[in-house]
């Protein structure tokens, strides 16, 4: 997600400094005109605005570390924006760390996967100080088709975890529907057309239709990350009737070797 977003900032004319713990992953952006930071404190000292986009809570906390991370170099006037999907409590923790250092902080997780990131069509769920949101909005306009200000830190993460819960329900529901139809003699091509042409069709099902038809699931959003997000929802208090079985299914699919495939690969697990 981070790389296509960074490319869009370069294309929009912004000066870009990058840092990745795997330095090889910086090379495409450097070839396109970005500069590489020596380390995280140097990045925070040089840049006016720093975006982080990482896999999980522990990675984000390590990057914000006050001794060796961004907060070792960030000073008054800097704006740190975390776009990772993390627990609401983690966003509140990061906000508190930044406030103590007099550094501005926004959480801004996104709804969307790799292709919307490439197209600058993400939905950005921002929370923190409204003045910081207004400062970041021109950058958000490059990265997404819609940026929403939701209020105090933690609310952006809560909204992201909620929308990913709905995503998981949609994906498992269409998988179960296709498999039930096939079991009763209806081929998946016809069933997908019935879904997509009718009121039950939606954006995510249409997006996943080619993968279902070819039974090929390259990771636009890896299945292991929906497991992480469903656990975040559980930890944040999700106790809905579908939530337990939903997490169980995706977790079992990950344990069956599907963790690095797209979350739609859950259909392969359910087919068994």
Catalytic site positions: 160
CB atoms within 10 A of CB 239: 8
CA geometry: angle 82, 203, 254, nearest 5 deg: 65
Q: What gap in Å lies between CA 41 and CA 17, rounded to an integer? A: 12
Handedness of CA 92, 95, 96, 97 (dihedral sign): positive
The DSSP annotation for 6-23 comes to HHHHHHTT---EE--SSG
Residue with tokens 């609401």: 88
- Number of Cβ within 10 Å of residue 214's Cβ equals 8
Cα separation, 261 vs 108, whole angstroms: 25
Which helix (DSSP H) or strand (DSSP E) does residue 60 occupy?
helix 57-63
The helix or strand, by DSSP H or E, that contains position 5, with its residue range, turns out to be helix 2-11
Q: Cα dist. 83→10, 25, 78, 182, 254 in Å?
A: 18, 18, 16, 40, 24
């Amino acid at each position: 997600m981070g790389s296509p977003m960074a490319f869009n900032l370069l294309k929009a004319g912004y000066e870009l400094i990058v840092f990745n713990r795997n330095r090889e992953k910086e090379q495409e952006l450097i070839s396109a005109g970005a500069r590489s930071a020596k380390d995280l404190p140097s990045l925070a000292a040089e840049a006016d605005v720093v975006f982080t986009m990482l896999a999980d809570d522990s990675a984000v906390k390590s990057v914000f570390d006050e001794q060796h991370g961004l907060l070792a170099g960030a000073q008054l006037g800097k704006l740190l924006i975390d776009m990772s999907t993390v627990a609401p409590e983690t966003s509140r923790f990061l906000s508190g760390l930044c406030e103590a250092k007099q550094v501005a902080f926004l959480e801004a997780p996104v709804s969307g996967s790799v292709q919307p990131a490439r197209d600058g069509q993400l939905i950005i769920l921002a929370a923190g100080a409204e003045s910081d949101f207004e400062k970041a909005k021109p950058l958000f306009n490059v990265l997404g088709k819609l940026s929403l200000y939701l209020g105090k830190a933690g609310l952006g993460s809560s909204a992201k975890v909620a929308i990913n819960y709905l995503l998981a329900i949609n994906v498992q529901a269409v998988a179960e529907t296709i498999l039930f139809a096939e079991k009763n003699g209806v081929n998946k091509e016809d069933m997908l057309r019935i879904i997509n042409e009718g009121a039950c069709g939606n954006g995510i099902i249409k997006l996943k239709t080619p993968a279902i038809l070819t039974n090929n699931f390259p990771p636009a959003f890896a299945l292991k990350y929906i497991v992480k997000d469903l656990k975040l929802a559980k930890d944040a208090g999700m106790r809905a009737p579908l939530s337990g079985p939903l997490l169980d299914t995706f977790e079992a699919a990950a344990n069956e070797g599907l963790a690095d495939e797209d979350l739609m690969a859950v259909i392969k697990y359910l087919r068994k």
